Amino acid sequence: MDSHKNNAQSEAAPVIEIRGLHKAYGPLEVLKGVSLRAPRGHVISLIGSSGSGKSTLLRCCNLLEDSQQGDILFDAEPVRWRGQGLGRHPADRAQVTRFRTNLSMVFQQFNLWSHMTILQNVTEAPVTVLGQDRAEVEERGRQLLAKVGIGDKCDAWPAQLSGGQQQRAAIARALCMNPKALLFDEPTSALDPELQQEVVKVIKDLASEHRTMILVTHDMRLAADVSDHVVFLHQGVICEEGPPDQLFGAPQTDRLRQFLSATMAA
């Protein structure tokens, strides 16, 4: 696998760093002290069974969910909190907004606005949230839609596109914010196998550009192909982690061996 690293990148502060994160929904503890680093230009994949905490961890990264304990840092700047335990919330809404504008998330179900054209979906946030010039953003949006292979769909409505085309539009929308990191939450699991490959190609292309990404996926081949580091979550803790060659080629724990056996056989 092509490595995305160099010494300068490795020594810099990670774009995203999680330290000892705990997340509960009432009495149900979903994350039990998880730590994670996403260095600049690296792809980190999160794998594990449904309910292991992968998507919750991603949503905590983007501050869509409040965590009860632990630290979240962006470019070495920690999120400021107020309160404790289930009452803990970010203390600075402006900081949250600033962090979120640098972290673009691609969801499983696309989340495109049905009343807007594809180009409007891609350009709305940079214009309204970042205050950028509409004409410049539209030109960038057209370029990004061409980049993901649907440049001819600018004036189409989401309902006129296949699932794979909608997901590629969602990726273009995420890229249009010029984020420091991309977060993918099961970007192919709502698609049939043929359409999955359209989206997988786009993700592989982005990985080859040394973009910082955290990818939650059930697609073990995709994780093996694009990742610099793979994290296996089980029941809210990191059971095993390391480079993809190690995790997929020589798993150290029985739990990961069982998981890979079941996943590869599916």
Overall average pLDDT of the 191-217 stretch: 94
63 and 111 share a domain?
no
Assigned domain for 188 exists: no
Confidence class for position 13, pLDDT limits 50, 70, 90: confident
Q: Which of 146, 234, 163 has its CA nearest to residue 197?
A: 163
Assigned domain for 12 exists: yes
Overall average pLDDT of the 84-112 stretch: 94
Confidence class for position 1, pLDDT limits 50, 70, 90: very low
Decide if pLDDT at 189 tops 60.
yes
Top-confidence residue, 263 or 159: 159
**Mean pLDDT of all residues belonging to the chain:** 93
Per-residue pLDDT of 23-81, as tens digits, reads 999 899 999 999 999 999 999 999 999 999 999 999 999 999 999 999 999 999 999 99
Give the tokens for residue 70. Answer: 């632990």
CATH of the domain at 61: 3.40.50.300
Single pTM value for the model? 0.92
Assigned domain for 196 exists: no
Overall average pLDDT of the 106-132 stretch: 95
What is the reported pLDDT for 264?
77
Domain count for the chain: 2
Assigned domain for 259 exists: yes
Domain boundary among 178, 193, 215: 178
Assigned domain for 199 exists: no
69 and 113 share a domain?
no
Angle CA 130–140–129, to nearest 5: 15
What is the reported pLDDT for 266?
57
Overall average pLDDT of the 162-189 stretch: 96
Confidence class for position 11, pLDDT limits 50, 70, 90: low
Overall average pLDDT of the 7-20 stretch: 76
Top-confidence residue, 206 or 265: 206
Q: Which residues pair with 26 in a beta bridge?
A: none
Instruction: Give the side-chain half-sphere CA count within 13 A for 115.
Output: 0
For residue 3, the enclosing domain spans 1-100+207-266
Decide if pLDDT at 9 tops 50.
no
